[in-house]
Amino acid sequence: MSRSIPLRSVQMIAVLAVTQLIGWGTTFDMLGVMGRVIAPDLGLPNEVVFGGLSIMMVVSALAGPTTGRLLARHGAARVLAAASITFTIGLLLLSAAHGIVLYGLAWIAIGAGGAFGLSAPAYTAVVERAGPDSKRVIAILMLFTGLSSAIFWPILSQLNATAGWRMTFLICAALQFFVCLPLHVFALPKPIAFAADGSTAQETPVPLSPAGQRKAFLLIAAATTISTFVTFGVSPSLLEILRQSGASPALALQLGSARGVIGISARFLDMLLGRRGNPILSAAMGVSLMVSSFLMMLLIPPSTPLLVTFILLYGFGSGVMTVARALLPLALFSPREFGLQSARLSLPQNLANAVAPVVFTAVLDRAGAGTAIATCAALAVISLGFVLMLAAQVKAATRVYEPA
Q: Is the dihedral of CA 74, 220, 139, 172 positive or negative?
A: positive
Give the rounded percent of residues in the chain with a pLDDT score beyond 70.
93
Per residue in 275-288, pLDDT tens? 566 889 989 999 99
pLDDT at residue 362, rounded to an integer: 86
Q: Which architecture, in CATH terms, is 7-187?
A: Up-down Bundle (1.20)
pLDDT at residue 41, rounded to an integer: 94
pLDDT at residue 345, rounded to an integer: 92
Q: Measure the CA dihedral 37/38/42/44, to 10°.
A: -70
Comparing 261-265, 286-290, 303-307, 397-401, the range with the smallest average pLDDT is 397-401
Res 218 pLDDT > 80: yes
Question: How many other CB atoms sit within 10 Å of the CB of residue 28?
Answer: 20
Question: How many other CB atoms sit within 10 Å of the CB of residue 153?
Answer: 16
Give the rounded percent of residues in the chain with a pLDDT score beyond 90.
56
For residue 347, give the nearest of 119, 140, 128 by alpha carbon: 119
Rounded to whole angstroms, the Cα distance separating 161 from 148 reads 20
Identical fold between 7-187 and 205-400 = yes
> How large is the average pLDDT for residues 80-103?
97
pLDDT at residue 332, rounded to an integer: 85
Per residue in 338-357, pLDDT tens? 888 999 999 999 999 888 88
Per residue in 157-202, pLDDT tens? 999 999 999 999 999 999 999 999 999 999 999 998 654 444 455 5
CA neighbours closer than 13 Å in the CB half-sphere of residue 186: 6
Pair 62, 186: CB distance under 8 Å: no
Task: Report the number of secondary-structure helices (H) and strands (E) in the chain.
Answer: 18, 0
Pair 172, 91: CB distance under 8 Å: yes
For helices 134-145 and 120-130, give the axis angle rounded to 10 degrees: 140
Q: Does domain 205-400 fall into CATH 3.40.50.300?
A: no
pLDDT at residue 26, rounded to an integer: 96
Q: Higher-confidence residue: 101 or 395?
A: 101
Pair 272, 2: CB distance under 8 Å: yes
**Residues 280-298, buried b or exposed e (16+ Cβ, 10 A)?**
bebbbbbbbbbbbbbbbbe
Where do the structural domains in the chain lie, given as residue ranges? 7-187, 205-400
Reported as a pLDDT band with limits 50, 70 and 90, residue 404 is very low
> How large is the average pLDDT for residues 76-86?
97
Rounded to whole angstroms, the Cα distance separating 384 from 387 reads 5
> How large is the average pLDDT for residues 320-326?
88
Per residue in 361-385, pLDDT tens? 888 888 899 999 999 999 999 999 9
In order, the DSSP letters of 103-125 are: HHHHHHHHHHHHHHHSSHHHHHH
Rounded to whole angstroms, the Cα distance separating 82 from 104 reads 20
Mean residue pLDDT of the chain comes to 88
pLDDT at residue 196, rounded to an integer: 47
Burial class (CB in 10 A: 0-12, 13-18, 19+), 98: exposed
CA distances to 213, 390, 399, 400 from 403, in Å: 21, 22, 9, 8
